[in-house]
Structure 1
């Protein structure tokens, strides 16, 4: 039992963590305390205690959730806290969550979901029984707590791929939960009916109903359970009742925020969309009634923002229904399609006053919602998707109906541009909706409606708006967006002509205008040539305007006067990144300007990282400048960037630390200095500290940095008595399934660079560590990496002062008298060789295997019985179609990460390129190397190993020609 003093101390730290001035230090103190036994229970006591203010209890719940995410289990599923704490947390968490207000419930629910992910059902078998036992026929508050817990557990199934383990877990839940679930659904319906005029009673009941609908989806997300199929009329009857339910008592007066009833109906639309997509056979009889109700809902619901999600989901449901050719036939007439456009599409596609307010008051949110491919639920996107699906079914009819409105609206706009500009906005959206064929991907539109002239529409109706200063800002955005949407349909020359116009938009005072210009320029520069992986635009196309573009972009970004405002607009920084990617070494003349601005932005945003995408694009931009400028101006940025990175490390800016390590490694690799610069020496001891390696996001970058240091100064670890600490890092990485490949990467650098005199006494312990891991926790990935290690060692030139070469590769694992390498070679190495796919891996496999077979007296003498098996794999690998002659990758940068969020995961900087350590760099033509080796040593070796089949002999002879 924690003492009152302990409670007060932790509560005080939680309180001070809410203060920006003391937050970082308090967080570090809490992180230091969390390793103590009983800490998790102490946090739960604070959350449960009404003696503490709500803010402290909520901070405690949030810290508890993050603590569980960090320290519940490791990658292997082993608990990281004492068994007594695990048991106590499981016993306390469910009843505690049920009793808490919604804000705290959300945090505890996420914690339960994390715990259930590793423990349920095997190690938490009573969880569902515990939940079911707490359901009450009368206590709605308790039921809502139970349902919240259940949803937090079951929703984990939604994105998962099917597996036996997953279906076993779902089956266990269904056996215990289905009947209580249906009973509660019915009882909730009864209570809603009984309290029809009682708002205070209805609000928690509709919270129950919302959770019931969400759990209905959870339980059916992978497959339709037999129970739900057997009771479909009863259950879907209740669902249908609430899709058409109306009651002024529970309807919200707020026009902007959706209320309980709107939320329930939106969730119902999501559920029936699942059923119409996945379970049409079961759902087909009652589907028409849902379609009719949805149609009524769409044509009678107002345009207020509170209905936006509901309308969006309802349209998504109808879009799914339309995907069925049979069901879509009901729409196969001009009159019906005209009704659909008139009553459903136009009201939801037209600009509303609330949209104009958003454009003015929250332009970044307007942009994110409007952007094609956004995950925001908007009426416009849903109406567009519905119209496109109808057009896919009835292209001619839909095109005719829609274009009649487009033409009418454009005529009205021309008659009075000031009064009717919204009509042109609708016309452009309508045209774009039916002009696109198929889906729009990140690469843009691949095909268009052959009945429409997209380029002609652009010339007549869009291009003038780009240059006319009197055009309404929203129509200017529409014009820019048209280029963005149909960029693949415009020629390179047309896009080049549009470039100066788009660039001029950076001088616009309108936030959405210049943001969309940045988005469109970035996407144009991402276009690839038809039937080619090469980009359409190169540095010669962009270099003349790049400096002006970048000056304007930095000017817009740096309008933000706080870290949060500075990082608000990731689209501007992504455009900076793409311009830099395209111009490459053309930036050299003004690179100091670039680094000064980027360093300033990193310094400011590090005070409060708030936008992970903006941060990633900023660091990617820094890496691009280093990559292309360092060869011409080596070391020119060190004095600017080093203090920035040291500040990030010193302040422990968790979100930025992995980026700092990647860039430190990149700068070191680019340094022409043959030895380690003095600025790096003080970093060596700190980066070997355990705490840094406990943060998952740091691990890949730290490994790379150690490899870069080893390449510059291999003897420094011995000189600082840190070699065993370095090997300790290798052992820690190897013990983790998530990081074992990084451990072997590090080991390769250790063996390649560190002198034999320092490392030889550790060879046997290292080999034993690898063998134990292979024996106890073997995975295909680990076998592949151990194979790579053997080939890496074998392909390196043998040297008296290094543990390298084919003899050492053969002897390395012979740490017992049982001649173990022979078994490893046949069962692991040869089996894994055909699965090595990267060019460098395949090169090292071929060179390494050739050297083992023809240049290792140890192998030939000890393992002659395995020689022919190795020769067969060598022949097969060399004949493989996937063998490539060019082992150097291209210089083109891949697209940056799109799915970015702060957290424990590592995000690689694409501009930080490391092609891998190549111990066989002297071999430039693999086939020639093999041929020369066979000609030189082939006959002698074959004579030593004994009988070799004629097939293998002739195959090797053919290679030697």
Structure 2
């Protein structure tokens, strides 16, 4: 047993205890932690250490080492709940984290007394004890928060045992005004929210329970806080306990409506009982939703009247109304309040605010992340209000579109009617913001305003590009960006917009420059603007690079990447300079993340930087592609890119592996060679693979195949490289991941196709891998893996038949393999698969009969049958591949997308009164979001099937994959066997008549293909001869000798 005094002295002296593995040490620490006599600093240090030990060691197997002793296990569990009850707040946080780890391992089997003990705490008359019980219950419910229906069994008992007590505690708390009451109520509401997060447990579906809990939630959000002394500081007030309690009440009501009370969504949490879910949702919508909506409408009126609310409360109110728009019952209730909702709630939130002004001036980067990149602020009331406006108009278009646009027009008319010095630009900003958020609906075929928008932009938006108010210049850019699909009738107006954007790229204000940069993508589709943009391409790229150094934002790098793709020719002379700047930008951004070794976890800022760095790498890759036709520039770019790749591999920046390997792939593919510097990179790839990148073989494979294709001579002369390549392939084939196994097979195939005559000593190893899998059919759990494993043997056959057959015979597996292969011939569907089958069979048929084992010699006719069967489906495989190639090249244009509504439908109701509502638009809205949720639910229920489907995707044609087999014609190979083998004709004449006819058809096709190829070769030769003669006649013989190809 550990001595309390000794343990205390250790922590008080140095905080580095050396009694860790002594059974009894942790229970001794717990005594120190909860003892009021202990020094606060020592208690905190002991609590942190205790937490780390529990979280790291509780429930470990003996094989994982450092078990917690039996005495500590028992004593800690016995005293944990009371320790939480009596600990101060800061210590309680540490202990509750420990509790989560312990419950996740032990409850309920190894800790059956936990729930009764918690229930006892909750039934206490002492507030401190009840609070401790709430914290202990919260950690227990949290264990089941995200578990599927099948694993949530114990939760029902927890709810039945404790939730009635929670209600008894909570209801009186709502009437109290103390912070302590709010804290306890907050925890109770949070517990309920956790219980319904993933699925709605049956005890909570009972009507009595719903009535009681819904009443509690409604009473909480309706509680008047005007009598409670609130902090003057707004930021502090936002975090007040009563507003946090209200937040969780809003959360619970939203979750009940959106996930469990929505008849149009699938049963949540993996519940397969769709009928029961639909019945509950119908009951909830009819009996509960109306009263809840009325409570929210009261909150809306309070907010409009000027009663202060937190931003989170406003956001959750807006989020709830987003859901209400979709359902007939709730829509009928809320549409009467649509006018105040839009005019007095949504519109003010969309106007430029004092808070916006302060952020713009003091931290423009933060402003950009909040306003320009709203995914950063998905809990913002502004972003949710924008979504609410969009949802209202999209889902209830007939009733709301024209009235909303009439309101916008009135704002603009009033604004323009005032003298310039009396105008409030914030009002116009709000109006233009509404227009921007509704751009898709305004430009839809059902909109009667679509044809007026060009004039609107010229009249209302263009003047703001010259506004002395910075946020109006930014708003002008925003509107132009979202109306990128507008078809301008007057080309001059389009060019004017582009010129305004160019000017804004030089603006003194960072948010304006960023908005202007994001606009550029909208102009790329216009041919005339592309021409106008060409002279500015380099300057624009420089502005974008400068912006990337001012703010880490991946959307900016997307614009750079697009610019490179559109203006490759114009940027090629500056490619090295641009790539150098991109390299330096990348190293700066990523260095700020990974050079800080003291921070083990990334914060939001680091995530932003990583995403921005990712975009920079993509732009670098695009630049490399752009200069593919300039070898000298290509070489310089490669040398410029290599430090970036080295950094990612040496620092093991896993988040950027995909982009780094794309750069390696692009450089090696475009240059068609492997430079000495790139061979150094290959060493880093191998090192990274061995350390932690073995799970990234999918990203690595294209680069590795390029090393094999363009560096085959070096690999053949460097045994070390060959060993490394084999190790990567062999490790991948034996991975736990089916996808990685397939990648390993593909790498083995690439080795055999590119390193002809070099791999004799590896063929037995490859054969050993394949036979091991084939002897364990349960390992071949997908068609794709089955095909790729068989193709290892086929590639070995094509590479060296003698060694391959020796391996099969030595393992006594010849007959078994051919039986298995022929039983699955239909699985070989791609062109490459069929070619390989034909080439392997032709290799066997052309071989010296003395090399062929007896069982195969007696089954030669079956081999011919196999070739015929593959040839029969070969033309169809070729057709599928060519169709795919045409699709990727864009020859197959999709039909123009048609709106759900007929064109002009929006003109049926011309009323501009938001309170005037035709009934035809009142039914439930079953929109794309619901369909997507249903799809996700189906995917979740059929997860194993879905995983199988993803593996079978491996069997689709890859039109971008280039193989040495691409130049091999299977018809020619078959024709060669028939015409050169002395035994071929004798064998064919012995075949059944129908099989002979099929062979003759193949031979006829072969002759046609050979003649076609001969004609093409002749035409090519004639064209080259004519070109040479033309050059000689023109006096250009020197050019012909020196440069013409």
Deviations 1:796-848 (A, max 9, x none): 994xxxx367x878887666213231243145x435334xxxxxxx2201212
Q: Deviations over 1:59-89 (max 9, x none)?
A: 9979999x99xx999xxxx999459589999
Partners of 1:952 and 1:167 in 2: CA distance: 61
CA shift in 2, pair 1:497/1:880, >3 Å? farther
Question: Contact conserved, 1:391 with 1:399, CA < 8 A, in 2?
Answer: yes
The structural deviation recorded for 1:922 is 0.6
Across the aligned residues of Structure 1 and Structure 2, the Cα RMSD in angstroms comes to 5.3
Partner of 1:850: 838
Equivalent residue runs for 1:244-259 within 5 Å? 244-247=222-225, 248-249=227-228, 254-256=233-235, 257-259=238-240
| Post-superposition CA distance 1:503-556 (Å, at most 9, x none) | 22111122221111222223554x6x9xxxxxx899767433210101112223
Q: 1:167 aligns with which of 149, 152, 177?
A: 149
Distance 1:717 1:133 in 2: 71
2:663 corresponds in structure 1 to: 663
Q: Which residue of 1 aligns with 2:828?
A: 833
User: Aligned residue for 1:554?
Assistant: 545
Q: Residue 314 of structure 2 corresponds to which residue in structure 1?
A: 311
Task: Work out whether 1:241 is the aligned partner of 2:219.
Answer: yes
Contact 2:220 2:246 in 1 (8 A): no
Q: Could you tell me which residue of structure 1 aligns to residue 813 of structure 2?
A: 818
8 Å CA contact retained: 2:732, 2:741: yes
Are the aligned partners of 1:406 and 1:427 in contact in 2 as well (CA < 8 Å)? Answer: yes
Distance in 2 between residues matched to 1:244 and 1:762, nearest whole Å: 76
Q: Which structure 2 residues correspond to residues 708-727 of structure 1 after superposition, within 5 A?
A: 708-711=706-709, 712-713=711-712, 716=715, 719=718, 721=720, 723-724=722-723, 726-727=725-726
- The equivalent position to 2:291 in structure 1, one of 289, 292, 306, is 289
* Shift in Å, 1:742: 2.7
Name the SS of the counterpart of 1:489 in structure 2. Answer: coil
Cα distance in 2 for residues equivalent to 1:953 and 1:448: 61
Distance in 2 between the 1:769 and 1:37 partners? 45
| In structure 2, distance between residues paired with 1:451 and 1:684 | 59
Against the structure 1 CA distance between its residues 818 and 651, is the aligned structure 2 distance closer, same or farther, given a 3 Å change threshold? closer
| Equivalent residue for 2:303, pick from 271, 278, 301 | 301
Aligned to 1:214: 193
Structure number with higher helix proportion: 2
Shift in alpha-carbon separation, 1:82–1:741, aligned structure 2, 3 A = farther
Judge conservation of contact 1:312–1:377 (CA < 8 Å) in 2: yes
Q: Tell me whether 1:379 sits opposite 2:387 in the alignment.
A: no
The answer (yes or no) to whether the contact 1:853–1:870 under 8 Å persists in 2 is yes
Preserved contact between residue 359 and residue 366 of structure 2 (Cα < 8 Å): yes
In 2, the alpha carbon distance for the partners of 1:751 and 1:881 equals: 24
Match of 2:535 among 530, 534, 544: 544
- SS of the aligned residue for 1:156 comes to coil
In 2, Cα distance between equivalents of 1:315 and 1:369: 18
Task: Tell me the TM-score normalised to structure 2 length.
Answer: 0.69
Compared with structure 1, are the counterparts of its residues 224 and 281 closer, same or farther at alpha carbon in structure 2 (3 Å cutoff)?
farther
Aligned counterpart, 2:1001: 957
Change (3 A) 1:878 1:94: farther
Q: Secondary structure at the match of 1:920?
A: helix
Deviations 1:833-867 (A, max 9, x none): 34xxxxxxx22012123334445326786575576
> Which of the numbers 150, 157, 167 marks the counterpart of 1:186?
167
Determine if contact 1:942/1:948 at 8 Å carries over to the other structure.
Answer: no
- After superposition, the Cα gap between the structure-2 partners of 1:885 and 1:794, relative to the gap in structure 1 and judged at 3 Å, is farther
Q: How does 1:316-715 map to 2 (within 5 A)?
A: 316-330=319-333, 336-371=337-372, 374=375, 376-392=378-394, 394-414=396-416, 415-418=418-421, 419-433=423-437, 436-437=440-441, 449-451=447-449, 453-456=451-454, 458-470=456-468, 472-491=469-488, 493=491, 495=494, 497-525=496-524, 542-558=533-549, 560=550, 568-609=552-593, 610=606, 611-632=609-630, 633-651=633-651, 655-656=655-656, 659-673=659-673, 676-682=674-680, 687-689=685-687, 692-695=690-693, 699-711=697-709, 712-713=711-712
Q: Shift of residue 105 of structure 1?
A: 9.3
CA-CA distance at 1:354 after TM superposition: 2.1
Q: Which residue number corresponds to residue 947 of structure 2? A: none
Q: Which range moves more in the overlay, 82-91 or 951-960?
A: 82-91
1:277 aligned partner? 262
SS at match of 1:607: helix
Shift of 1:942: 11
Alpha-carbon distance change, 874 to 141 in structure 1, aligned in 2, over 3 angstroms: farther
1:337 CA displacement: 3.7
SS of the residue 1:487 aligns to? coil
Answer whether contact 2:649 2:684 (CA < 8 A) is retained. Answer: no
Compared CA separation, residues 862 and 107, structure 1 to 2 (3 A)? farther
Q: Structure 1 residues 491 and 636, CA, compared in 2 at 3 Å: closer, same or farther?
A: same
Q: Deviations over 1:710-733 (max 9, x none)?
A: 441566487455655543433332
* Inter-partner Cα distance in structure 1 for 2:963 and 2:88: 59
CA contact (8 A) 1:861 1:945 kept: no
Runs of 5+ in structure 2 lacking a partner?
34-39, 264-279, 594-605, 846-851, 891-957, 1006-1045
Deviation at residue 58 of structure 1 after TM alignment: 6.8
Alignment length, in residue pairs? 850
- The secondary structure found in structure 2 opposite 1:606 is helix
The whole-number CA distance in structure 2 between the counterparts of 1:377 and 1:879 is: 53
CA distance in 1 between counterparts of 2:781 and 2:96 reads 34
Shift of the 150–290 alpha-carbon distance from structure 1 to 2, 3 Å rule, reads: same
For structure 1, the residue ranges without an aligned partner over 5 or more in a row are 17-35, 158-165, 439-444, 530-535, 561-566, 835-841, 893-912
Q: 1:203, 1:250 within 8 Å by CA — same for their partners in 2?
A: no
Instruction: Tell me the distance in 2 between the aligned counterparts of 1:61 and 1:943.
Output: 79
How far apart are the structure 2 equivalents of 1:188 and 1:571?
Answer: 49
CA deviation string 1:897-923 (max 9, x = no partner): xxxxxxxxxxxxxxxx99445131214
Separation in structure 2 between the aligned mates of residue 578 and residue 55 of structure 1, nearest angstrom: 53
- After TM superposition, give the deviation of residue 128 of structure 1 in Å: 9.1
Name which of 967, 980, 984 aligns with 1:922: 967
Partners of 2:979 and 2:529 lie apart in 1 by: 47
SS in 1 for 2:146: helix
After TM superposition, give the deviation of residue 173 of structure 1 in Å. Answer: 3.7
What residue number does 2:882 align with?
885
Instruction: Single out whichever of 934-943 and 507-516 deviates more from structure 2.
Output: 934-943
**Shift of the alpha carbon at 1:176?**
3.4
Instruction: Tell me whether 1:156 sits opposite 2:146 in the alignment.
Output: yes
Instruction: Give CA deviations for 1:46-68 in whole Å, capped at 9, x if unaligned.
Output: 9x988779699879979999x99
Contact 2:324 2:330 (C-alpha < 8 Å) held by counterparts: yes
